[in-house]
């Protein structure tokens, strides 16, 4: 995941120490944008990495930024490339993402996290700051955006996007983890109340507008979606976020289905990887490591009716094309009654 967790007075606090270098158009922060030089390491299970796979696809960066997909489970040591033949990433030539972290000269210590971008010329991770990575995809990689790519971080709306995204991060994205890893009842209940208060706020906000900020999909929507898509499958039960299922919150459920059915969103979701990660890796919460069969994901394909609120998913842009070969995820079509 993005950042390691610690416990402060029995409550969960995320370690937010990230590698300070960035990949920018002019290289001012350490590394210049170059086609083919870097490889994005992700896991389909991780919500923080999921953001990068969505933005990469929406902007059409697949041809210039390759992607390494780690398996859904890992040990305390590292994410591993066990999905690849021989358990070795074919481009980086490593079995563990830890190898790319340890190749750094500074001996980076906070932990092996995804997403991470590796410089293939040195084999070193150059950035793992998940929040900055997607913003840089939108603002620094513009020379390589596909034709008719959407503007996910429009300059006129950035202040509002940042404000909404921060609320979502604190109360929802990280809030579910505060519930799941709370060390005592009081901490859990405080996190639980904070989470559902924010979800109620989002229900109200999205009742009259199709997207979180403005008339199109923005960075804020992507950041909320990756938590919502995991909510019923994982957070409701595994993390004890059980006041309501997503499917019992009518506005958020319709909003999430609207995004899921938009190219670039549902076609990056792998529910089996998501469930395998949380239920098999978090043995402190789920000691048996049994992975539940449900819930039935076919509801994600049902009509949502959000078009009536107006708005255009990609603004003046257009949807992305087909998923790149080798990057497909299991389809839900067979589950559609």
In whole angstroms, how large is the CA radius of gyration of the chain? 19
Whether 19 is covered by a domain: the verdict is yes
Residue 2 has pLDDT above 70, yes or no: no
Q: Is residue 237 part of a domain?
A: yes
pLDDT at 249 over 70: yes
Q: Is the pLDDT of residue 333 over 80?
A: no
**Structural domain boundaries, residue 309:** 155-335
| 162 and 139 fall within a common domain | no
What confidence category does residue 11 fall into, taking pLDDT thresholds of 50, 70 and 90? low
Cα of 74 vs its chain's centroid, Å: 17
pLDDT at 303: 98
> Do residues 219 and 183 share a domain?
yes
Q: Which of the residues 18, 38, 46, 101 is marked catalytic?
A: 46
Residue 51 has pLDDT above 80, yes or no: yes
30/298 Cα distance (integer angstroms): 45
Q: For the chain, what percent of residues have pLDDT higher than 90?
A: 89
Q: 337 pLDDT exceeds 90? A: no
User: Based on the domain organization, do 201 and 60 belong to the same domain?
Assistant: no
Q: Look at residues 89, 117, 144 and tell me which one is the last residue of a structural domain.
A: 144
Return the pLDDT at 10: 54
Tokens 């290289």 — which residue?
Answer: 27
Is 177 catalytic? The answer is: yes
Tokens at residue 328, please?
A: 């497909």
- Please say which residue of 144, 168, 197 terminates a domain: 144
Same domain for 123 and 170: no
> What's the structural domain count of the chain?
2
Q: Do residues 180 and 283 share a domain?
A: yes
Please tell me which residue in 177, 188, 255, 279 is annotated as part of the active site: 177
Shared domain for 324 and 197, answered yes or no, is: yes
Tens digit of each residue's pLDDT (9 = 90 or more) over 155-202? 999 999 999 999 999 999 999 999 999 999 999 999 999 999 999 999
State the chain's mean pLDDT as an integer.
94
Same domain, 101 and 126: yes
Which of 173-177, 239-243, 275-279, 330-334 is predicted with the least confidence, judged by mean pLDDT?
330-334
Whether residue 207 lies inside any domain: the answer is yes
- Which amino acids are annotated as binding site for glutathione, given as ranges? 79
Q: Is the pLDDT of residue 313 over 70?
A: yes
User: pTM, whole model, 2 decimals?
Assistant: 0.95
Residue partners of 326: CB distance under 8 A and separation at least 6: none
| Residues with Cβ within 8 Å of residue 40, at least 6 apart in sequence | 52, 53, 56, 65, 66, 67, 68, 115, 116, 117
Q: Are residues 102 and 129 in the same domain?
A: yes
Same domain for 224 and 116, yes or no, is: no
**Which ranges in the chain belong to alpha helices (H)?**
47-59, 98-102, 130-139, 158-168, 175-180, 185-206, 219-228, 250-260, 271-281
Residue 62: pLDDT band (50, 70, 90) is very high
* Annotated binding-site ranges: 79
Q: Are 98 and 112 in contact (CB under 8 A)?
A: yes
Kindly state the percentage of the chain with pLDDT values over 70: 94
DSSP sequence for 52-87: HHHHHHHHT-TTTSEEEEE-S---SS--B-TTSGGG
**Dist CA 261 CA 268 (whole Å):** 11
User: For the domain that residue 94 is a member of, what is the CATH number?
Assistant: 3.40.30.10
- Over the stretch 263-276, which tens digit does the pLDDT of each residue have? 999 999 999 999 99
Looking at the domain assignment, is residue 277 inside a domain? Answer: yes
Q: Is residue 46 annotated as part of the catalytic site, yes or no?
A: yes
Position 108 pLDDT exceeds 80 = no
């Amino acid at each position: 995941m993005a950042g390691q967790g610690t416990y402060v007075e029995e409550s969960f606090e995320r370690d937010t120490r990230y590698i300070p270098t960035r990949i920018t158009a002019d290289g001012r922060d350490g590394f210049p944008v170059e086609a083919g030089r870097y490889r994005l390491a992700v896991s389909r299970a991780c919500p923080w990495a999921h953001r990068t796979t969505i933005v990469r696809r929406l902007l059409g960066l697949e041809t210039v930024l390759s992607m390494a997909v780690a398996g859904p489970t890992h040990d305390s040591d590292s994410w591993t490339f066990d999905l690849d033949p021989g358990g070795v990433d074919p481009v980086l030539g490593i079995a563990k993402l830890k190898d790319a972290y340890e190749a750094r000269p500074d001996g980076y210590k906070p932990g092996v996290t995804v997403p991470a971008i590796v410089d293939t010329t040195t084999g070193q991770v150059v950035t793992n700051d998940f929040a900055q990575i997607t913003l840089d995809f939108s603002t620094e990689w513009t020379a390589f955006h596909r034709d008719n790519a959407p503007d996910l971080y429009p300059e006129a709306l950035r202040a509002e996007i940042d404000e909404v995204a921060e609320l979502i991060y604190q109360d929802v994205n990280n809030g579910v983890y505060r519930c799941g890893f709370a060390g005592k009842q009081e901490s859990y209940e405080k996190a639980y109340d904070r989470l559902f208060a924010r979800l109620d706020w989002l229900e109200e906000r999205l009742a009259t507008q199709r997207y979180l900020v403005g008339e199109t999909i923005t960075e804020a929507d992507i950041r909320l979606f990756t938590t919502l898509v995991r909510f019923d499958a994982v957070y409701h039960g595994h993390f004890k976020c059980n006041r309501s299922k997503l499917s019992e919150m009518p506005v958020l459920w319709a909003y999430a289905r609207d995004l899921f059915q938009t190219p670039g969103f549902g076609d990056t979701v792998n529910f089996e990887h998501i469930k395998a990660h949380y239920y098999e890796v978090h043995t402190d919460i789920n000691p048996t490591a049994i992975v539940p069969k449900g819930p039935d994901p076919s509801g994600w394909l049902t009509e949502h009716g959000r078009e009536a609120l107006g708005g255009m998913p990609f603004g003046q842009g257009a949807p992305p094309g087909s998923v790149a070969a080798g990057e497909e995820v299991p389809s839900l079509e067979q589950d559609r009654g």
